[in-house]
Structure 1
Amino acid sequence: MKKLGFFNKIIFFFNTLFAVLLLLSYILPYVFPKQFPLISVLSLTVPVFIAVNIGFMLYWLVQLKRQFMLSLIILLIGYKHVGAMYRLSGSSESEEDGIKLMTYNVRIFNAYGWLKDNDVPEKIVELIDREAPDVLCVQEFYYTQKDAFNKNYPYQFIKYTTRNNRTGQAVFSKYPIVERGSLEFPKTGNNALYVDIVKGKDTVRIYNLHLESLHIVPSKEHISDENPEMLFKRMGNAFALQHRQVEIFDEHRQGSKHKMIIAGDFNNTPFSYVYKRVRGTMKDSFIEQGSGFGRSYDFDYFPMRIDFILSDPDMEILSHKNYSELLSDHYPVMAKIRFGKTPEKKGE
């Protein structure tokens, strides 16, 4: 510090502060939201802490100052967090045999006109038809589109969860569905659907999971106008509800005798207890084959990844794709998955 000027000493002070905050954030996936809901909200800030520490590291490197080691060491300690936020390279397309699964929160097909375009429902259907997933998991499905996918998806399961039977979740499949059901979460319109699909000799369970919403309007203007204390408290309550929903889900999946894929809108980040518990030992398609930030939610402040596709450890993620078409407050996510790993060649 003796060789640092006054300005750089101030910079290093803030560098140290953000390095400590990032280090402490590494324990957030182990904090129970039911017991510490407000602390759990801080998991949303982890991408900011990572980005700021990268900025400090580059600042010192340009000046050839050894202080860059502070942020570098903290980032290396949490390399899994960094990898969950950004991937350098991956595969968005694959010609190998597997199923293509898409998850998409369609925000009830713009029924209340959040987007100015009048043809949003048609554009969503066109996008799905063009990308042609074999299995489609939809959150916030709207009853007006119940026949939109009949042509390409002979096997369907739609469950309306609101009192007026207009909104809910849905799974559309090109492969036969031999078992289906819904996990009802208390005091909410959110739930989890499950279907067992048959492809060849394989039967695989697919969950379409929609956890409690944080009810954040994704714009700087709205967030800056809202009372910070009320916003923070509401998000903490939502995280606590998510914890209970994940417990219900976790208990149910223990009874499945099939390999499984979990897809959906978790309304939480990869740095949270909720994600950690749902994922367990499963593979995250973005971490396996994604690239860039993997943004799945339209949020002004930073790229948020809250929509996931997770697969059984014995499955192989062949590709992962994030889309940029803004037809909802979420972006669709698709992965191609092979049910069994590629056999290793002799001598390898």
Structure 2
Amino acid sequence: MGRKIAVLFDLLSVVASGLLLAAALLCRHASDISPETGRFWALLALSMPGVLLLNLAALFYWLLRRRWLVCLLPLAALLSNGEYVAAMVQLHPAADARTRSDLRVASLNAYYFGQGKSRYQMVRTVAGIMSREQVDMLCLQEVPTLPIDSIFRYFAARMPYFVQESSEMILSRYPILDHRYARFADSWNAYLLVDLAVGEDTVRVVSVHLQTTGVAALRARYRKEHDREAPVEALLGEVERNSRLRARQVHELERLIDSVRGPLILAGDFNDTPSSYTYRRIDSRLQDGFRAAGRGYGSTFRSLGGVLRIDYIFCNDSLRCVGYRTLPDTVSDHRAVIADFRFVR
């Protein structure tokens, strides 16, 4: 009897590994399908980190069992999602690219400078970090409606040029020739575009803040108004609605990207992971700075165990990313990201 149970368990384990492989393949396919088609594919894309972790566990299990042939199932699952893995983990050698870069760009969702006891204290802290890192240009999302001079004066010594529209702000060491602010349809989210005069070049920089998932706000509202957790159906509906909005927003960004002929940098809080349709559409047109020159695990969002990467800096073919870092400083619920670029002549 014991032998039969062991054989049955072994068979079920192999079947489970096969199902995990199928799930991984579906997750990979999900990022190519717009959430506008329905919630299934959007939720499947979100589940990719968990699916890959289960496949990794299965790989170690079969390696310990020395079942080399079965090991191919979880290994195939991981390899089929190699692009996602590469967007989350990189092993580029650590290097200070400052001496060989033309432009250093940072991006941070500032969380309205509400991480500390005083907003002005957090503004000073962020400004100090940017000075320490010798940043040439900073994209800020979720900037509070404080008097503009009260924010700008802390950055002015390093970055004397700035523009702010609503909760979006860009500060620069280089002159700002022009700017444009655009709010996405059916959303409070927006992007801020500037043209910088960097030597003889004009660099277009777009700071973007895409639609949030809305889950945290929905849960808070249910606790406040109903004194209970939000039902699963309401949470799924919120995820679906906001995934659709991000899909429409990324289509607008695609049109913007395609219209640019010179150097372009796209940075900000995309509120979506590398397994998403949003990331796939942008990555198909621009270079992800982390994949080009990052190191370690690319997490940028501190909540949810710090496993999510939702903040990015991209560039087009007129630039080459030669350095990319995620800062450890705690100044927001997001981590600041910094990229070094050189012009492609």
What interval of TM-score do these two structures reach, taking the shorter chain for normalisation?
0.7 to 0.9
TM-superposed CA distance for 1:132, in Å, is 2.5
1:80 aligns to 2:86 (yes or no): no
1:306 aligns to 2:294 (yes or no): no
Give 2:57's aligned residue.
55
Asked if 2 retains the 8 angstrom alpha-carbon contact of 1:92 and 1:289, the reply is no
Asked if 1 retains the 8 angstrom alpha-carbon contact of 2:300 and 2:306, the reply is no
Give 1:178's aligned residue.
177
TM-superposed CA distance for 1:239, in Å, is 0.8
1:251 aligns to 2:258 (yes or no): no
Q: SS state of the match for residue 334, structure 2? A: coil
Asked if 2 retains the 8 angstrom alpha-carbon contact of 1:176 and 1:197, the reply is yes
Alignment match of 1:156 (pick from 154, 162, 165): 162
1:340 aligns to 2:344 (yes or no): yes
Equivalent residue letter for 1:171: I
- Rounded Cα–Cα distance in structure 2 between residues aligned with 1:55 and 1:88: 22
Equivalent residue letter for 2:209: H
Q: SS state of the match for residue 178, structure 1? A: strand
User: Compared with structure 1, are the counterparts of its residues 89 and 155 closer, same or farther at alpha carbon in structure 2 (3 Å cutoff)?
Assistant: same
Give 1:208's aligned residue.
207
CA RMSD of aligned residues (A): 2.6
TM-superposed CA distance for 1:300, in Å, is 2.3
- Rounded Cα–Cα distance in structure 1 between residues aligned with 2:6 and 2:103: 57
- Rounded Cα–Cα distance in structure 2 between residues aligned with 1:137 and 1:288: 20
Count of matched residue pairs: 329
1:194 aligns to 2:193 (yes or no): yes
% of aligned pairs identical?
26
- Rounded Cα–Cα distance in structure 1 between residues aligned with 2:216 and 2:326: 21
TM-superposed CA distance for 1:86, in Å, is 1.6
User: Compared with structure 1, are the counterparts of its residues 328 and 192 closer, same or farther at alpha carbon in structure 2 (3 Å cutoff)?
Assistant: same
Query: What TM-score do you get using the length of structure 2 for normalisation?
Result: 0.87
User: Compared with structure 1, are the counterparts of its residues 157 and 90 closer, same or farther at alpha carbon in structure 2 (3 Å cutoff)?
Assistant: farther
Equivalent residue letter for 1:211: L
Question: Deviations for 1:255-298, whole angstroms, at most 9, x for unmatched residues?
Answer: 33322111111110111111122232321111111122200111
- Structure with greater helix percent: 2
> Larger deviation: 13-22 or 234-243?
13-22
- Rounded Cα–Cα distance in structure 1 between residues aligned with 2:6 and 2:320: 50
Alignment match of 1:127 (pick from 118, 126, 129): 129
Q: SS state of the match for residue 129, structure 1? A: helix
> For structure 2, which runs of at least 5 residues remain unmatched after alignment?
none
Asked if 2 retains the 8 angstrom alpha-carbon contact of 1:90 and 1:320, the reply is no
Asked if 1 retains the 8 angstrom alpha-carbon contact of 2:90 and 2:297, the reply is yes
- Rounded Cα–Cα distance in structure 2 between residues aligned with 1:59 and 1:291: 28
Q: SS state of the match for residue 277, structure 1? A: helix
1:11-90 matched pairs, under 5 angstroms: 11-66=13-68, 67-90=70-93
Question: Deviations for 1:32-61, whole angstroms, at most 9, x for unmatched residues?
Answer: 122224421322221121121111111111
Q: SS state of the match for residue 132, structure 1? A: coil
- Rounded Cα–Cα distance in structure 2 between residues aligned with 1:115 and 1:10: 51
- Rounded Cα–Cα distance in structure 1 between residues aligned with 2:63 and 2:306: 24
TM-superposed CA distance for 1:92, in Å, is 5.3
TM-superposed CA distance for 1:78, in Å, is 2.4
User: Compared with structure 1, are the counterparts of its residues 6 and 88 closer, same or farther at alpha carbon in structure 2 (3 Å cutoff)?
Assistant: farther
- Rounded Cα–Cα distance in structure 2 between residues aligned with 1:44 and 1:122: 36
Asked if 1 retains the 8 angstrom alpha-carbon contact of 2:21 and 2:76, the reply is no
> For structure 1, which runs of at least 5 residues remain unmatched after alignment?
161-167, 342-348
> Larger deviation: 250-259 or 312-321?
250-259
Q: SS state of the match for residue 91, structure 2? A: coil
> Larger deviation: 128-137 or 32-41?
32-41
